[in-house]
Amino acid sequence: MSEQPAAFRFAVHVMPKPGILDPQGRAVERSMPHLRITGVRDVRVGRRVELTVEAADEAAARAVVERLAADLLANPLIETYAVELVGALAPAAQGRPAAATESRP
Amino acid sequence: MSVRVGVVVFPGSNCDTDAMHAIALEGAEPVALWHESADLHGVAGVILPGGFSYGDYLRAGALARFSPVMRSVAAFAAEGGLVLGICNGFQVLAEAGLVPGALVRNRSLRFVCREVTLVPERLDSPFTVAVGERRPLRMPVAHGEGCYVADEETLAAIERDGRVLFRYAHADGTPASDPADPANPNGSLHGIAGVANAAGNVAGLMPHPERAVERILGSDDGRAIVASLVRSAAARAGGVAVVAGGAA
């Protein structure tokens, strides 16, 4: 049973590096007065990518996500990324894990 | 026999035909290179044209980088082959790490589509040999993510090594190095519009020389850049030394 691949749901958070200009964040800041919101600063706009990985164990799944994040999802020159496990799902053979259980707060 | 220069066609490329036209104007034979094929058909130089490869999804240029043709282009570049990325082609080269730095959202957050002035900072590179003298060049830009950024260390290195090929400038040729300068259309650091790799055989350029190759288009200043590439590719293919200077 232990050889059966499992599925793991990950989230990859991609953010502009500190010091890299984030014009989207600045645009959000400039919109604050229109909402009459004050006291908010340092807005940075990033990206969250969720994906399901089938692998023998969490470490193997995480290695795939790390490679994907470093090579494609983020550009390390301008962005940082963080990989977060959001759920371990039922073995892939027993259903459609991606749709079955999306972790919700 | 005229020299053959390839133009990569990605899904979403939209300046490929213009680039092929510009190559033909300079007496070379343009060769379309399909993104799903790794065959470069023995070309002596490659242009990565402008457009919105793969819909600009994720980041401009990020997905094109992993196409079969790009693996061949990277190998071609590693052997000293001449590669010029224009606009989206520059973004692809930057994503692939073939030229330094990255291109991020324009500081204005707006897509800019207008004519700009550039000055060449090198007259001896394979991409500028036919420019002849340090003179202002007029050609269009059309991009949403053209703001050139790199860390301090990289900027210092490319400035020190003379790898900045073009800077945005005022009409008189004064560089617009300040990101806030109105003549700097996207807020690029050091006003950088074009940059080369360490070996000097790969260059990225944000403005469009291939859209400025005939007077009726408003400018033919772009011809000197295309002519430089064609002439340098021919020289490499024929083993002849490239001589700087001379008009296109």
pLDDT tens readout for residues A70-97: 999 999 999 999 999 998 876 644 444 4
In 3-state terms, what secondary structure has residue B244? coil
- For β-strands B112-120 and B164-169, DSSP reports them as antiparallel
Closest-CA distance, A74 to chain B, in angstroms, reads 9
C-alpha gyration radius of chain A: 18
For residue range B70-94, what is the model confidence (pLDDT) as tens digits? 999 999 999 999 999 999 999 999 9
Confidence of residue A102 (pLDDT cuts 50, 70, 90): very low
- B87 given a catalytic annotation: yes
Kindly write down the DSSP assignment for every residue of B64-114, as one continuous string: GGGSHHHHHHHHHHHTT-EEEEETHHHHHHHHTTSSSSEEE--TTSS-EEE
* Contact B64/A at CB under 8 A: no
Count of domains observed in chain B: 1
For residue range B117-165, what is the model confidence (pLDDT) as tens digits? 999 999 999 999 999 999 999 999 999 999 999 999 999 999 999 999 9
E-strand stretches of chain B: 4-9, 29-34, 45-48, 82-86, 102-104, 112-120, 137-143, 147-149, 164-169, 192-196, 202-205
* Contact B56/A at CB under 8 A: no
- B170 given a catalytic annotation: no
Of A20, A72, A73, the CB nearest to B149: A20
Residues of B in contact with A77 (CB under 8 A): 101-102, 149-151
Q: Within a domain: residue B84?
A: yes
Q: Within a domain: residue B73?
A: yes
**pLDDT value of residue A21:** 83
- Distance CA(B64)–CA(B68), nearest Å, equals 9
Residues of B in contact with A20 (CB under 8 A): 104, 149
In 3-state terms, what secondary structure has residue A16? strand
Domains of chain A: 6-95 (3.30.1280.10)
Lowest mean pLDDT: which of A8-12, A27-31, B153-157, B221-225? A27-31
- B145 given a catalytic annotation: no
**pLDDT value of residue B239:** 60
On the question of pLDDT at B241 being above 50, the answer is no
Candidate list B26, B87, B95, B147, residue with the active-site label:
B87
Residues of B in contact with A72 (CB under 8 A): 58, 62-63, 66
Closest-CA distance, B208 to chain A, in angstroms, reads 24
**pLDDT value of residue A101:** 44
> What is the CATH classification number for the domain harbouring B89?
3.40.50.880
- Distance CA(B124)–CA(A20), nearest Å, equals 32
> What percentage of chain A carries pLDDT values higher than 90?
69
Closest-CA distance, B61 to chain A, in angstroms, reads 11
Q: Within a domain: residue B111?
A: yes
Q: Within a domain: residue B131?
A: yes
- Distance CA(B5)–CA(B45), nearest Å, equals 5
Q: What is the pTM of this model?
A: 0.88
**pLDDT value of residue A104:** 44
Q: Edge-to-edge strands of the sheet including B45-48?
A: B29-34, B4-9, B45-48, B82-86, B202-205, B192-196, B164-169, B112-120, B137-143
* Contact B105/A at CB under 8 A: yes
Q: Which residues pair with B20 in a beta bridge?
A: none
> Which residue segment(s) compose the domain that B230 sits in?
4-238
A77 contacts B108? CB cut-off 8 A? no
Q: Within a domain: residue B193?
A: yes
Of B109, B151, B187, the CB nearest to A27: B109
